[in-house]
Amino acid sequence: MAKEQDDIIIHDIAGVPVTDSSLDQTNVPARQVVPIAPTVGGDVAGPANSLWREAWLRLRRNKVAVGGAIVIILFILVAIFANVIAPYSYERQFTVTEIRAMNMCPAEGRCTAKFMPSSSTFWLGTDNFGRDIFSRVIYGARISLTVGLVSQLLIILIGMPIGLLSGYYGKWIDYLLMRITDVMYAFPTILFAIVVLSVFGQSFLNVLLAIGLTFWPPMARLVRSQVLSVREKEYVEAARAIGTTNRSIILRHILPNILSPVIVSITFGIPFAIMTEAFLSFLNIGTPIPLPSWGSMVAEGKDYLRTVPTLVLYPGIAISLILFAFNFFGDGIRDALDPRTRK
């Protein structure tokens, strides 16, 4: 009795089938034809599952990246539950009467609510307006993380479609979109963000728009370069051969296979956006007062750097921690998704 032939199917790197019963398997090169993957819990355990599983295992073994992820999670929890964690409102200004009622006036000298030292009532002291520094640092985490995440979302929404269309269709579409990108590259990024804020005015929403509209060109360039390297792969050609629409090819076969460098770019882009917002707030054109941006706190405290350095120290430590955490985590993500690091 003749030996039954194993069922075969073509998968791209993301594990998406690109053939059907109408495709002549005898014309497909042997390196493209693989046995149907075994099922796990009713789902096909395709190549994508094993690739992402290996990346996850490599990331877990990277203790520095795991430490960065833990710090990021802690900051996210602090930002979400800032109303619960912070003992006071970020804009509450204590008065001398309240300080006297708390029996916190010094034995000698004038009683004031400004520049109070660290105590059980004010863990990090008060600033030059009599506001609790600890509460403002806690609320500042919410501002900074919102800037980092939302600005990256805007960058993805602008840069990724431009990169996908430019890389896939090429010709005049590629020329037009890349010339627009080159024009954006011609402007210094920080200067362009300052111009945007000068035109639209100073507000938290405009800070998000300024960062998103300024830093999308690198994302577009990255996505375009990845699409150019993927669009001529065998599984994409096979999808075209069976009449798959361009939209389906882009969304099902190209986009999933270029996500790794995009994810790495996002993890490095978030701290850069946070740093940009802090710099703009330091110049007094970023997050408007009294919103407690870490950058604006540093800007307010720089005039008292010699007498009360803690006004700059505490928000500066917070900025440094979040930047290091995202960079360590980004390094771990890059190493985990890089095939050259596989053992």
* CA-closest candidate to residue 10, choices 309, 121, 23: 23
Euclidean distance between CA atoms 206 and 200, whole angstroms: 7
* CA-closest candidate to residue 311, choices 324, 294, 328: 294
Pairing of strands 39-40, 43-44: antiparallel
For 191-258, give the DSSP string.
Answer: HHHHHHHHHH-S-HHHHHHHHHHHS-HHHHHHHHHHHHHHTTSHHHHHHHHTT--HHHIIIIIIGGGG
Q: What does the pLDDT read at residue 192? A: 86
- Return the structure tokens found at 322: 């979040």
Q: What does the pLDDT read at residue 48? A: 54
- Return the structure tokens found at 189: 């990024």
| CA–CA distances in Å: residue 340 to residues 55, 310, 330, 335 | 12, 45, 17, 8
Q: What is the pLDDT of residues 25-42, one digit of tens each?
A: 444 444 444 443 443 344
Q: What is the pLDDT of residues 40-84, one digit of tens each?
A: 344 434 455 677 777 788 878 888 889 999 999 999 999 999 999
* CA-closest candidate to residue 277, choices 291, 265, 264, 263: 291
Please list the pLDDT of the chain residue by residue as tens digits (343 residues): 444 444 444 455 455 555 444 444 444 444 444 443 443 344 434 455 677 777 788 878 888 889 999 999 999 999 999 999 999 988 888 888 888 888 777 766 677 888 888 888 889 988 888 899 999 999 999 998 999 899 999 999 999 999 999 988 888 998 999 999 988 888 888 888 888 888 888 888 989 998 988 889 999 999 999 898 888 888 888 888 888 888 888 888 888 888 888 888 898 889 889 888 888 888 888 888 888 888 888 888 888 888 888 899 999 999 999 999 998 988 888 887 765 555 5
Q: What does the pLDDT read at residue 35? A: 41
Phi-psi region of 103 (alpha: psi -120 to 50; beta: other; left: phi over 0): left
Quick check: bond before 106 cis, omega within 30? no
Q: What does the pLDDT read at residue 49? A: 60
Q: What does the pLDDT read at residue 75? A: 94
Contact 211, 193 (CB under 8 A): yes
Euclidean distance between CA atoms 33 and 47, whole angstroms: 13
- Return the structure tokens found at 270: 């978030």
Residues 6 or more apart whose CB falls under 8 angstroms from that of 181 comprise: 162, 217, 220, 221
Query: What is the sign, positive or negative, of the torsion defined by CA atoms of 63, 68, 73, 78?
Result: positive
Domain ranges for the chain, please list them: 54-92+131-341
Contact 75, 317 (CB under 8 A): no
Q: What does the pLDDT read at residue 70? A: 94
Pick one of 3.40.50.970, 3.90.920.10, 1.10.3720.10, 1.20.1260.10 as the CATH number of 54-92+131-341: 1.10.3720.10
End-to-end CA distance of the chain, in Å? 43
Euclidean distance between CA atoms 250 and 161, whole angstroms: 10
Euclidean distance between CA atoms 37 and 8, whole angstroms: 9
Contact 311, 304 (CB under 8 A): yes
pTM above 0.95, yes or no: no
